[in-house]
Amino acid sequence: MEKLLLVEDDLALGQGVRLALQTEDRPVTLCRTLAQALQALEGEGPFALAILDVNLPDGSGLTFLEEVRGRLPVILLTANDWETDIVAGLELGAEDYITKPFSLAVLRARVNAQLRRSSGESSTVVQVGPFTFDFGRMEYRKHGRLVDLSKTEQKLLRLLVQNRGTTLTRADLVDRIWTDGAEYVDENALSVTVKRLRDKLEDTPSKPQYLKTVYGVGYTWAVV
Domain boundaries 4-119, corresponding CATH code? 3.40.50.2300
CB 42 within 8 A of CB 85: no
Condensed to tens digits (0 to 9), the pLDDT of residues 185-220 reads 677 899 999 999 999 999 999 999 999 999 989 999
Determine the average pLDDT of the residues in 31-51: 90
| Domain-wise residue ranges, the chain | 4-119, 125-221
Condensed to tens digits (0 to 9), the pLDDT of residues 79-99 reads 756 777 778 888 888 888 888
CA of 38: how far to CAs of 6, 34, 75, 115, 163, in Å?
Answer: 12, 6, 16, 21, 28
**What's the CA gap between 104 and 116, in Å, rounded?**
18
Identify the pLDDT of residue 57.
94
CA atoms within 13 A on the CB side of 16: 11
CATH topology of domain 125-221: Arc Repressor Mutant, subunit A (1.10.10)
pTM over 0.75: no
**What's the CA gap between 64 and 38, in Å, rounded?**
8
